[in-house]
Amino acid sequence: NEKGGHFVTDAELLDLLRRDRTAGMEALLARYRPLLRYVIGGILAECGDGEDCLSEVCLALWQKLDRFDPARGSLSTWLTAVARNTALNHLKAHRRREAHTAEAAGEPVSPDTPEQMLLRQERAERLKAALNGLRDRDRQLFYRRYYYLQPLSQIAAEMGMTERAAEGRLYRLRQRLRQELGGDDP
């Protein structure tokens, strides 16, 4: 985005959002809509709810903008997380509707105990620390595959490698992480 002959920085965007929420959201979406669509599209490819999800992301951004803390990360990282989480919620709802429609048989799943939730949180923190120890390219590959749920063919094409090379590297990364995390599956 150019405004007045220069590129609008995230700080300028945030300032505009504080002064004029409507104009700020328009500027934010003009700049980041392609990124949001990219994240959403990779997760919702199977169900085609991308535009509905993008609308929900825009509403969430409008409502949660005050929660953004620049000290914790970049604006694009925060926007990506909001888009990812919203898309995953859409995907879960889509799968629940499909399962309900198909009248899937089986026992209802019992909610996690507090101990299980604590263990899952500790494990997630250990995984995050291990991922931060990876080289940037390996971390990007891992996140794109397992966090953003992108197809291997897309990742390989966009990262300039063959699918087989991407698959091999992911296998080695999983093995390394498994070893670092004490045999747990990442």
In tens, the pLDDT along 13-56 reads 988 988 998 898 999 999 999 999 989 988 887 777 788 888 89
In tens, the pLDDT along 93-102 reads 887 777 666 5
**Dihedral of alpha carbons 168, 38, 124, 131, sign:** positive
pTM for the model stands at 0.63
